Structure 1
Amino acid sequence: MTTAKALTIAGSDSGGGAGIQADLKTFQELKVFGMSAITAVTAQNTLGVDGVYPMSLEAIEQQIECIAVDLKPDALKTGMLFNSEIIELVADKIKQYKWENLVVDPVMIAKGGANLLQKEAIDAMKKKLLPIATVLTPNIPEAEELTGLNIQNMEDRKEAAKRLSALGVSNVIIKGGHGKEKESVDLLYDGTCFSSLLAKRIPTKNTHGTGCTFSAAITAALANGYSVKDAFQLGKDFIHQAIKMDLHIGSGHGPTNHWAYQESKR
């Protein structure tokens, strides 16, 4: 039996709820061997981000190269990349090694409001990274930043998805957590057709790391051979249970529960 492997290229969250910590926990829960290349170290907890310390380009490159020569990933995701130089390096390395099944979570702002992507880096993301993405998973504010649209309703979301698809992204998933509907509606556009998944909204402030966890679940599913549509469904189910079975940790925006999905199946 071949063991599926997934790589996360992202920032470290000292509080354990987001970033590579959330990604690796999610990979493990979905029976995928997780690997990481750290782009930045953050000093943070559930109350907010106190510091961001980007890794050197040399350190990021060497992490990726060590994985490439020995542990080729079956799927990979990017999270916090912070600046244009890191984005360009990561995109070049992914193309160099011809890695497939790339999930891009365009991490821009932390739950507490801290900027995790410099403004000048948005163009680099659109030009270098999005054209090689298999799946892009922005929330509504991130989709607005990437497209320049003011997204107020589902038709606006569909237009944003079309514009992002036109940049070369194979599949766009615009998450509905920031939407105004009674249910959370996640929208998938595959370049031709739209489909959506609905889930009951859960009244909680403990949603730290939801974007990382959702995209990591999709990455793990792709590594295990799922289609994008089936990976989308698994990601939705995984994050819904992670939010629903709250851990109640910390005094601010607490983390989701990464073992909830497996717990719900018992």
Structure 2
Amino acid sequence: MSGIARILVIAGSDSGGGAGIQADIRTITTLGGHAMTAITAITAQNTLGVQGVHPVPVDMVLAQIDSVVADIGVDAVKIGMIGSAETAQAVAARLEAMEKIPIVFDPVMVATSGSVLADADTIAGFEQLMRLATVVTPNIPELAALGGDVIATLHGCAVLAKGGHGAGDVLVDRLFDTGGEIARWEGKRIDTLHTHGTGCTLASAIAVGLGQGMMLTDSIVRARQYVRAALLAAPGLGHGRGPMGVPRDA
């Protein structure tokens, strides 16, 4: 590994800067990594919702991956919004051919605003990516759509089931793999409207940790702390679900 963790992010662009590639770069940089990107889609998006999505052609997504891999190298990969079933399949084939590296897959289906970002065919294409992933990070609705807790057994990956969509003041995140539950974390819900980009940020923070040589559980602990601090640092932008901030002590 180089002196700085090289993190390749394969995800969509958020024009409002709260989630997607923009949140990924911010998180990776803040935590001491070097962010590289393969943009899968361009979105017209703000705190109120997604007004438009333009998928990037598959060959261009692959060209971005090949470009950075050939020259700079990669210590970990974070996958977010994938854009299409064809892109999912092509990216999976590229990653499978690479030297085995940690992969964090955030199976983005719906934006914080409620806008749909993956159709049924794209979700079906997630299976190949889950088989390659070190850890998959679905929220409660995404976990249900992917088949529930059995996805760890079906695809041989660890799963961090995020509890942010659950009811109550205490949130529970569960980490499990084919052998069952490994760890769980509880935390008091932070009362804020500005939660746009939480999933992207958490997954990128975990990827940085893995790229820096941290164990998975340690990476998750730091990532959860970072997200909670970022929620508290939200600048209050926009008229809807605004972006998080950058923790001062990160």
Give the TM-score taking structure 1 as reference length: 0.90
1:244 to 223, 232, 236: 232
Pairing 1:222–2:210 present: yes
1:200-255 Cα distance to aligned partner (Å, 9 max, x none): 11111110000000000000000110000101101111111111222111111000
Residue of structure 1 in register with 2:164 after alignment = 177
Residue of structure 2 in register with 1:151 after alignment = none
For structure 2, the 5+ residue unaligned runs are none
Q: Could you tell me how far 1:193 is from its partner in structure 2?
A: 4.1
Residue of structure 2 in register with 1:17 after alignment = 18
Residue of structure 2 in register with 1:139 after alignment = 139
Kindly indicate whether the alpha-carbon contact (under 8 Å) linking 1:214 and 1:239 is maintained by their aligned counterparts in 2.
yes
Residue of structure 1 in register with 2:95 after alignment = 94
Distance in 1 separating the partners of 2:25 and 2:100: 19
The structure 1 segments of at least 4 consecutive aligned residues displaced by more than 4 Å after TM superposition are none
Residue 20 of structure 1 aligns to a residue whose secondary structure is helix
Kindly indicate whether the alpha-carbon contact (under 8 Å) linking 1:75 and 1:99 is maintained by their aligned counterparts in 2.
no
Residue 109 of structure 2 aligns to a residue whose secondary structure is coil
Residue 186 of structure 2 aligns to a residue whose secondary structure is strand
Residue 40 of structure 2 aligns to a residue whose secondary structure is strand
Q: Could you tell me how far 1:99 is from its partner in structure 2?
A: 4.1
Distance in 1 separating the partners of 2:26 and 2:216: 21
1:121-174 Cα distance to aligned partner (Å, 9 max, x none): 222112x11111001000000001101xxxxxxxxxxxx33x011122421000
Aligned partner letter, 2:134: T
Kindly indicate whether the alpha-carbon contact (under 8 Å) linking 1:136 and 1:169 is maintained by their aligned counterparts in 2.
no
Aligned partner letter, 1:244: L
Residue 155 of structure 2 aligns to a residue whose secondary structure is coil
Matches within 5 A, 1:83-122: 83-122=84-123
Distance in 2 separating the partners of 1:226 and 1:212: 19
Percent identity (aligned):
40
Distance in 1 separating the partners of 2:100 and 2:20: 21
Residue of structure 1 in register with 2:193 after alignment = 205
Distance in 2 separating the partners of 1:203 and 1:44: 23
Residue 205 of structure 1 aligns to a residue whose secondary structure is coil
Aligned partner letter, 1:7: L
For structure 1, the 5+ residue unaligned runs are 148-159
Kindly indicate whether the alpha-carbon contact (under 8 Å) linking 2:109 and 2:123 is maintained by their aligned counterparts in 1.
no
Q: Could you tell me how far 1:180 is from its partner in structure 2?
A: 1.6
Q: Out of 175-184 and 47-56, give the one that drifted further.
A: 175-184
Kindly indicate whether the alpha-carbon contact (under 8 Å) linking 1:222 and 1:231 is maintained by their aligned counterparts in 2.
yes
Kindly indicate whether the alpha-carbon contact (under 8 Å) linking 2:42 and 2:55 is maintained by their aligned counterparts in 1.
yes
Distance in 2 separating the partners of 1:212 and 1:48: 16
Residue 49 of structure 1 aligns to a residue whose secondary structure is strand
Residue 213 of structure 2 aligns to a residue whose secondary structure is coil
Distance in 1 separating the partners of 2:41 and 2:59: 13
Give the TM-score taking structure 2 as reference length: 0.96
Q: Could you tell me how far 1:182 is from its partner in structure 2?
A: 2.4
